[in-house]
Amino acid sequence: MKRFIAAVAVCVAGLPAFASNDDIVKVRSSGDVATTMDRLEAAVTGAGATVFARVDHAAGAAKVDMELAPAQVLIFGNPKLGTPAIQDNAVAGLFLPLKVLVYQDGAGQTWLAYEDPKEMLGDLGGISEDAGYIKTMTGALGKLTGKAASE
């Protein structure tokens, strides 16, 4: 249900969001990968979260003489938000901090993609699907990716 609400919230903002069967939320971007990632990073830091890493998959591939379409991952979080999840179940640390992939598909369209927090953490024992931090993570991901996609 929360995934549906997140998808509707992004669509209401004029941006199509799609949740696939594997619980990945995708948001179409108006910019290229680098521009979208710059906007995402600015939105994350502007919201007071910490950026832990920015991984450029295409640059990594180029270092071994291989090619990839533009694709970058931003790893970020807020310990005030993530720590309670890890306190509830230490295995949540495998999924946190949060990650957003910005990539170009075969048609040249740029997308932001992230795993739905409820689905990501929901199968772990000790974490209630009604946990406040799941709702906060879901809302933050929707807002941050929406901002990065449309500026």
Q: What is the pLDDT of residue 123?
A: 85
Q: What is the pLDDT of residue 3?
A: 42
Q: What is the pLDDT of residue 16?
A: 45
Q: What is the pLDDT of residue 67?
A: 96
H or E, element range at 39? helix 33-46
Q: Is the pTM value of this prediction over 0.75?
A: yes
Question: Max CA-CA distance within the chain?
Answer: 46
Q: What is the pLDDT of residue 108?
A: 96
CA distance 91 to 85: 9
Q: What is the pLDDT of residue 10?
A: 40
Per-residue pLDDT of the chain (151 residues; tens, 9 = 90+): 344 334 433 433 444 444 445 699 999 999 999 999 999 999 999 999 999 999 999 999 999 999 999 999 999 999 999 999 999 999 999 999 999 999 999 999 999 999 999 999 988 988 988 899 999 999 999 999 999 999 6
CA distance 18 to 63: 33
Q: What is the pLDDT of residue 22?
A: 67
Half-sphere exposure of 66 (CA within 13 A, CB side): 6
Q: What is the pLDDT of residue 125?
A: 86
